[in-house]
Every structure is written in structure tokens, then in C-alpha cells.
Amino acid sequence: MMIDKILKECSSPFYLYNEERIKDKISFLNNLDLQFQRKFNFAVKANPNLAILNLIHRCGFGAEVVSAGELFKSLKAGFEPSDIIFDGPGKTEFDLKYAITQKINSINVENVEEIKFINDYSLTKGLRTNIGIRINPNIDGSTMDKITTGLSGGKFGISIDQIDFDAISNFKGINLKTLSVHIGSQITDYQKLLGSYENLIKIADEQNLKNNINIDTLDFGGGFAVLDHSNKKINFESWKDNCNKILEGKNFNIIFEPGRFIVADSCELISKVLYIKESGEKKIAIVDCSFSEYIRPALYDIKPPIKVANSSKKTGIYDIAGGICESTDYFVKDIELPEIKVGDNIIFMNVGAYGSSMSSTYNSRPRPLEVLYNNDEYRVIRSRDTLEDLCKNEIM
């Protein structure tokens, strides 16, 4: 079996991706019976590994980026500039200049001041830059507070009453052709998404009645939930039917920016038990990965699905902890698992999205190996940091 071979040949901790799974998720979206012009742009922040990006590019997706770094990596991975969208509430001048000169599909602004900067810089370069405006719709996505982005009072998007569409249409260095929205991540209630789409359609229709405005693209963001810490699933059948309904007779190009949905469940983080400690009433398995390698449980209080690679019939109640010198460095507490021995592999599932991408080298731990496999072969797509890598850019 491929997995057994990989477990034997690669040393933990490492991220292990299933290529077929990513392709399946992409085909699922590509084959939905959506009766309008649309493009899926992968949210690179979910997983910016070059091999993953290149795979997703080859499956026909575009990219959604939020920094010069993500733009650079996306171009390197093969995405055409015309298939790249740049979002984000805090773009720097460097980000904006780079995005402008690469002539990407759209820079979606989230601050009124960005508009003037893009206009002026584009004019100095003899360019006219396509922009979008991210609207803050004041819609609650009913997801976890820490990944909610659609509410007034938050830092995302611009509230409609602050946008001077007439003034924008007179700028010669920009072309406003997109409106965008993104109300949060891990959204299970498709009606919340629909509400944000309808709001955008209404604004675009109203603005397009004016002679000098032609909004032809609506970017509906990402947010599709996966089975994870929530056991609710998004109802794609109803989502699709309703999308078709609200867009019937309309002529917009639609963009979706899924991140998590594409990669989350394609990946497992393989760790090994270093020690089993009895402390008070507790049995604690200390593994060789930590919140440096996977921070979501510590940051969002989610419980990652876990499996143990052994066939013990007896079970025990465990806390699973990392080796970082901090008391938040636990993956899960009080979980019943097959009896664990030192050396067993503990496997954290559904870690393909915001797993490796949010990892750090805290405690000067080398960032882990990443491995991609399909039915025939496996290969390393990121080598483990060396100890020298940890000193790179530092001067003594």
C-alpha cells in the first residue's frame, strides 16, 4: 500500500496530500450544472505550495491572492495574470505596484484610498487597471466569530454609502468592472452565501443603470464549509439551484474563490508519539508536531479529526499535546483512542487548508516535509527546513 510505504520512508512530522482527492473536489465544482459564466479562483492562502498551486492551475482554476508573495508564487506556478484576483484589506504600495504592472484580472479594493493610488500609479505606467470593490454587506455568515468577515464594524470591504461611483467612473487609470463580497469561511448555511450574492447583484444592477458604469463581473468570494470541526455540510444541490435562479437573465461573469473546500480533506499531518506522560488524572501523548506545524486547534479551539495507526482493541482517554513550551499547545483533550504506544503514528486529518500555510518555525522548529501522492507514486513537494534555513537572513 502506498500509504504504508510513505509512512515507512518519510520521517515525521510531515504533511501528506492526496492528489486524486484535490482533483475530485475540483471536478465536483467544475461539473456542477451552473447556468451562467463563471470561474473558480483558488484562494491561495489556504495552501500556497507550488506543486499544489500548479496542480490546481492545470485543472482549470484561476487564483485569488492577498499579497505580493502569493502573486509571485501563483505566477511561478503557472497561472496567467488574467486568471488572478488580488484581495485583502491591507495591501501595501509594493503589493499594489506589483499587481498593477503584472496586469492581473482585478485588484479588489477594500479601502477608498486604494482607488486613487491605483489610478495615479497606473497612469504613470500608461496603464488602465481593472479594479473591483469589495462591499461590506453587513451579513452574518453564522460561522465561527474568528473567521467571520461580512459584518459592519469589521475591517473587511467598504460600506456602500462610502463609495462615490460617479467619481470613480471618471478616473482614467482604472476600470471598475467588478464588485466582490466574502462573508467568511467554513460557512455551512448556503442561504447566508446566497444573501450576500443577491445583495451584490442588486447593487451592480442599480449602478449599471448609469451610463458611465459597466460592472460585468461579480466575485462572490469563497467560504464553502467542509466536514471538519462542524459536522454540518453545505447543501450544494440547493446552493446551485438558487444560484441559477438569482442569476437567470443576468449577464454577469461570476467568480468564486474557494480555498478550504478544495484542499482541506486532501491532507493528513503525520506525527509520532514521543512520550506518554501520566499527570494527575491525565494521560498525555506528546507528539513530534506542535502548534508551530498546525496552529488551528490552538488558535480557533477546533478539534481536528484524529486517527491512530494501530489496531489495539483496548482504548484509553488521552490528551494529545505538542512539544512547544506553552500550555495552549494541545491538539485535543480527553479523546478516546485505541491504546497508544510510544512510536505510534498519530494522524491529524483534514489539515490541507490553513495547515501548512499557517505554520511557523516558533521554538526554532524546522518547517516540516510535505509529500504529494497519487495512485502510482509519491514525491516530496517541500523539503524539511534545515537548521541553516532557520538562520537564513539573520546576521550575527
Of 330, 347, 348, nearest to 291 (Cα)? 330
Whether the ω angle into residue 48 lies within 30 degrees of 0, i.e. cis, is no
Interface residues with ligand LLP (CB under 6 A)?
43, 46, 64, 87, 147, 182, 185-186, 221-224, 257-261, 296, 300, 353-354
| CB nearer to ligand LLP: pick between 234 and 273 | 234
62: part of which helix (H) or strand (E)? Answer: strand 62-65
Residue 160: C-alpha distances to residues 92, 135, 197, 212, 316 (Å): 23, 6, 15, 18, 55
What contacts 344, CB < 8 A, 6 or more positions away? 272, 273, 308, 309, 310
In the complex, the smallest distance separating the C-beta of residue 21 from ligand LLP, rounded to whole angstroms, is 16
| CB nearer to ligand LLP: pick between 171 and 256 | 256
| CB nearer to ligand LLP: pick between 25 and 296 | 296
287 DSSP 8-state letter: E
| CB nearer to ligand LLP: pick between 157 and 173 | 157
Q: How far apart are CA 233 and CA 210, in angstroms?
A: 40
Q: How far apart are CA 1 and CA 302, in angstroms?
A: 31
Of 88, 63, 58, nearest to 74 (Cα)? 63
| CB nearer to ligand LLP: pick between 60 and 125 | 60
Could you confirm whether 267 is annotated as catalytic? no
Q: Is 385 left (phi over 0), alpha (psi -120 to 50) or beta?
A: beta
Query: What is the Cα 124 distance to its own chain's centre?
Result: 34
Of 389, 371, 385, 280, nearest to 52 (Cα)? 371
Q: Answer whether 147's CB lies under 8 Å from 187's CB.
A: no
| Residue among 59, 267, 325, 391 flagged as catalytic | 325
| CB nearer to ligand LLP: pick between 318 and 331 | 331
Q: How far apart are CA 67 and CA 96, in angstroms?
A: 9
Residue 321: C-alpha distances to residues 45, 333, 335 (Å): 26, 8, 12
In the complex, the smallest distance separating the C-beta of residue 99 from ligand LLP, rounded to whole angstroms, is 15
Q: For the chain, how far is it from start to end, CA to CA, in angstroms? A: 48
| CB nearer to ligand LLP: pick between 87 and 288 | 87
| CB nearer to ligand LLP: pick between 61 and 354 | 354
The string over 152-188, giving b where at least 16 C-beta atoms fall within 10 Å of a residue's C-beta and e elsewhere, is: eeeebbbebeebebeebbebebbbbbbbbbbbbbbbb
In the complex, the smallest distance separating the C-beta of residue 133 from ligand LLP, rounded to whole angstroms, is 13
Q: Please identify which residue in the block is written with the cell numbers 482504548.
A: 315
- By CB atoms closer than 10 A (0-12, 13-18, 19+), residue 26 is buried
Rg (CA), the chain: 23
In the complex, the smallest distance separating the C-beta of residue 385 from ligand LLP, rounded to whole angstroms, is 22
In the complex, the smallest distance separating the C-beta of residue 297 from ligand LLP, rounded to whole angstroms, is 10
Q: Which residues belong to the active site?
A: 325
